[in-house]
Amino acid sequence: MKTKTNAKRRPSRRSNSTASKIMSAGLATATCVGLVGVIGVRTAQDSAAADSSSATEAQASAVAAATSTDGYTQAELDAYAAQLAAEAQRLTDYRAQLADAALTLQVSAGGNVSVTQPIPSVSKPSVSKPSVSKPAAQAAPKPQPQSTTKSS
């Protein structure tokens, strides 16, 4: 299939009349003024945008350097989180150490000992009543080598 060409000529936009030329010159001038205006506006906008951008960057760096909502930089918060993570790891290592001890105990006991790590409660007092006595000349059997008084 052949491509058909359009046989009609487009009408020329050019006009040779003087009035048209004057009008064209006027439009061209107006267009130039318009372009200058547009360019001027754009330049001003670019300048403003650049100012705005640098202001935003300055603001962003100020946030990074000074505060988050609680007064700490992101770097400080990251360091704090890393410190907490390191401490959590030490606790994990300790738990593993405790579990090893429990396993050794289990093996030596030759039975199935379940390992639990109860968390002390902070409520509901219930006291085991001790018997209290003055130390006798013949003291109580095998006292523990513990004193309840402070050592400094």
Partner 1 sequence: MSAVIRNLRAMGTDCSVICYAPADSGQLLADAAEARIELLEDCWSRFRSGSELNRLNHRAGTGPVQCSADLVRLVQAMRAAWEMTGGLFDPTILPSIKAAGYDADFATVIARGAIAASSGSLVVDPSPGMERVIVDEVLGTVDLPAGLGIDPGAIGKGLAADIIVDELMGAGADGVLVNLGGDIVFAGTPGDDPAWILGIEDERVAIDHPDRVIRHLEFEPGIARSAVATSTTLKRVWGNGRHHLIDPRTGDIARGDLVQATVVADMGWRAEAAATAALLMGAGRAPQWLSDHDLVSVLLTSEQILTDDTRIGAPSD
The answer to whether 57 contacts partner 1 (rule: CB under 8 A) is: no
Give the range of 7-15, 23-31, 54-62, 118-126 binding partner 1 by CB under 8 A.
118-126
Task: For the CB of residue 76, give the shortest distance to partner 1 in the complex, in Å.
Answer: 10
CB closer to partner 1, 11 vs 143: 143
Instruction: For residues 93 and 99, give the distance between their C-alpha atoms in angstroms, rounded to a whole number.
Output: 10
Q: Which two tokens stand for residue 36?
A: 């200058």
The answer to whether 115 contacts partner 1 (rule: CB under 8 A) is: yes
Q: How many residues bind partner 1 (CB under 8 A)?
A: 60
Instruction: For residues 90 and 81, give the distance between their C-alpha atoms in angstroms, rounded to a whole number.
Output: 14
Q: Contacts with partner 1 in 59-78 (CB under 8 A)? A: 69-72
The answer to whether 151 contacts partner 1 (rule: CB under 8 A) is: yes
The answer to whether 98 contacts partner 1 (rule: CB under 8 A) is: yes
Give the number of C-alpha atoms closer than 13 A to the C-alpha of residue 92, restricted to the C-beta side: 6
How far, in Å, are 14, 63, 72, 115 from residue 88 at the CA level?
A: 82, 29, 22, 20
